Amino acid sequence: MRVLISADMEGISGVVHPAQLSPTGADYARGRMLQTEDVNAAVEGALEGGATEVVVNDSHWVQRNILIEKLHPRARLISGSTKPLGMVQGVEEADVALFIGYHAKYGTPYAVADHTWSADCLADLRIEGRSMGEAGLNAYLCGHFGVPVAMLSGDQSLEAEAKALLPHALVAVVKRARGRWAADCLSLEEARKLIRERASEAVAGAGSLSPLAPPSPCQIEVELVTTEMADRAEAVPGVVREGGRLVRFEGADVVEAFNAFRTVMNVASLHTPF
Query: Considering the rule CB under 5 A, would residue 72 count as an interface residue with Zn ion?
Result: no
Query: Considering the rule CB under 5 A, would residue 8 count as an interface residue with Zn ion?
Result: yes
142 versus 246: smaller Cβ distance to Zn ion: 142
Which residue of this chain has its Cβ atom nearest to Zn ion in the complex? Answer: 60
Query: Considering the rule CB under 5 A, would residue 180 count as an interface residue with Zn ion?
Result: no
Q: Which stretch binds Zn ion (CB under 5 A): 58-66, 123-131, 182-190, 211-219?
A: 58-66
60 versus 245: smaller Cβ distance to Zn ion: 60
- Cβ at position 103, least distance to Zn ion in Å: 7
The answer for residues whose C-beta is within 8 angstroms of residue 203's C-beta and 6 or more apart is: 1, 3, 45, 46, 48, 49, 50, 51, 96, 98, 150, 151
- Cβ at position 90, least distance to Zn ion in Å: 17
Interface size with Zn ion, residues (CB under 5 A): 3
9 versus 142: smaller Cβ distance to Zn ion: 9
- Cβ at position 133, least distance to Zn ion in Å: 11
Q: In this chain, which of 32, 60, 72, 175 binds Zn ion, going by CB under 5 A?
A: 60
- First-residue to last-residue Cα distance in the chain: 50
Point out the catalytic residue in the list 60, 72, 103, 115.
115
Q: Which stretch binds Zn ion (CB under 5 A): 59-67, 80-88, 183-191, 239-247?
A: 59-67
35 versus 156: smaller Cβ distance to Zn ion: 35
Query: Considering the rule CB under 5 A, would residue 32 count as an interface residue with Zn ion?
Result: no
The answer for residues whose C-beta is within 8 angstroms of residue 10's C-beta and 6 or more apart is: 21, 60, 101, 102, 103, 112, 113, 115, 154
d(CA 24, CA 40): 24
- Cβ at position 246, least distance to Zn ion in Å: 24
8 versus 124: smaller Cβ distance to Zn ion: 8
User: Do the beta carbons of residue 152 and residue 140 sit within 8 Å?
Assistant: no
Q: Which stretch binds Zn ion (CB under 5 A): 4-12, 25-33, 66-74, 161-169?
A: 4-12
72 in active site: no
d(CA 175, CA 15): 9
The answer for residues whose C-beta is within 8 angstroms of residue 49's C-beta and 6 or more apart is: 1, 199, 200, 201, 202, 203, 204, 206
User: Do the beta carbons of residue 195 and residue 188 sit within 8 Å?
Assistant: no
- Cβ at position 222, least distance to Zn ion in Å: 18
| Site for Zn ion, rule CB under 5 A | 8-9, 60
Residues marked as catalytic? 115
